[in-house]
Chain A
């Protein structure tokens, strides 16, 4: 389109100058106006999609995750579990506004940003060339905030039904600061150590947060589960989900919201966003079938809980790959994750007997690892031509493009997120435990956290 306009303008300009009229000025002015209008239209489309995506990602936490996790715990703990997700919508927002966004996205060193965006100084309606050149910088900031919110919320699956609420709050503040903000910086921040697009030393392809969100939270969840110990009565006492119905509703909200999570990571209403949207959906579908078939084969009946667990596992695994892989590899990645996470959650967990209550490690830690590594296999410039050489030619990305060593780069990214999560989470838990104590008392745990921590009941039968 632009080429035709240029050719037309050249022709018109030449013709007009022959007659020496005032026409050349108005044609140039018209073309400039047209160019500005096109850019404005693109920006409007991009901004509309990005704001929508931000809302979708927030919906994933509330009520998506709140319902998904809430339904899986016993009735006496439903509100406390929902509170773990909901309160972070408030707490992390404040951290982000004050210093979080700056630590994550300001240019600083390869591991964390400096404080130039403290109190969101300078983050306004003008675009930032590195973070969404067609949308306000503020749009990018609010979009990324929703990721910062859901990541610690995922960890709550590991310590549900036995953590002190005050400890959970302190833990989240420290974890966001010491794990999430640095990890987000390393993968997505300018100059980040693992940032494939903006000057990283080790290019790790993570389109929407397989390492930043899922591996960090999943591995941290494992540390929390081991540190806090098993729930009283686990595993002898039956602790069935009190409402799989609620969890199904939550899972479906997660599936839909994930389109904002992955397709929104294109930071544009572009064909790359479409591609990520499709890959996300295909990954979820294949993983649902993978888990379902594995369960059908192993236990004789395919369960609803298995179905929604599979779909979440697939969504997790496709997250890093979503803007890099073609649709059929997306199906494959989903299917592998569905079966892999099923094995983690059933066979591995029962073998080692740790109480990862809501399988945050089994689904997010394992799914994120599977997805991040398979991204190195299937990433292709046919989907993402954004990485170009000096001549502007799209660079080959993953194994399918003839770059098998990309899997190694992915492994390094995976290893860094594992180590950071393992070490920092343990240190943070120790600090919180030594100051205010992490685990609820035995009476509080037996009574149920809804009553002991929050003074309320989820369902009142008398009224």
Chain B
């Protein structure tokens, strides 16, 4: 089993969700995060005080998937999230030691 962490532009979330639904992927966790890679931030001014804001709003998706589906799912995410500009985001893949369904104690790929 592999865990996919995808950091994407917030406005691309709907497209990514549609793409994943289209290839039959149900489970995911989404959180609102802040961060940056090479993308420049912006300046905010409050009563003459200037603030450089370089932590930009992003969305993080986390999915745990079967090994056999990894490439297909990662490609779907990347293609839906891409705009071609700096700030599109990144996908990271991790090994997963175990997965357990809380409702009925299913383990391993059966729990996904």
Contacts and interface: CB of A to CB of B under 8 A. Distances in A.
B47 to A, nearest CB: 5
A249 B34 CA distance: 28
B26 interface: no
A405 interface: no
Nearest to B50: A299
A267 to B, nearest CB: 36
B51 A303 contact: no
A299 B51 CA distance: 12
A350 B45 CA distance: 13
Contact of B48 (A240, A301, A347): A347
A271 interface: no
B44 A240 contact: yes
Interface in A288-331: 299, 301, 303, 305-306, 309
B51 A345 contact: no
A374 to B, nearest CB: 23
B51 A240 contact: yes
Contacts of A240: 44, 46, 51
Chain A interface extent, by class? 10 to 19
B49 interface: yes
Chain B interface mostly: strand
A359 interface: yes
A303 B49 CA distance: 12
Interface string A346-365: 11011000000001000000
Interface in A324-346: 345-346
Contacts of A301: 45
Interface string A64-88: 0000000000000000000000000
B57 to A, nearest CB: 15
A299 B49 CA distance: 10
Contact of B47 (A235, A238, A359): A359
A35 B78 CA distance: 86
24 contacts: A235-B49, A238-B51, A240-B44, A240-B46, A240-B51, A241-B46, A299-B45, A299-B48, A301-B45, A303-B45, A303-B46, A305-B46, A305-B47, A306-B47, A309-B47, A345-B47, A345-B48, A346-B47, A346-B48, A347-B48, A349-B48, A350-B48, A350-B49, A359-B47
Interface of A: 235, 238, 240-241, 299, 301, 303, 305-306, 309, 345-347, 349-350, 359
Closest 7 CB pairs of A and B: A346-B48, A238-B51, A299-B45, A345-B47, A305-B46, A240-B46, A241-B46
Given A240-B46, A346-B47, A350-B48, 7 more contacts: A235-B49, A238-B51, A240-B44, A240-B51, A241-B46, A299-B45, A349-B48
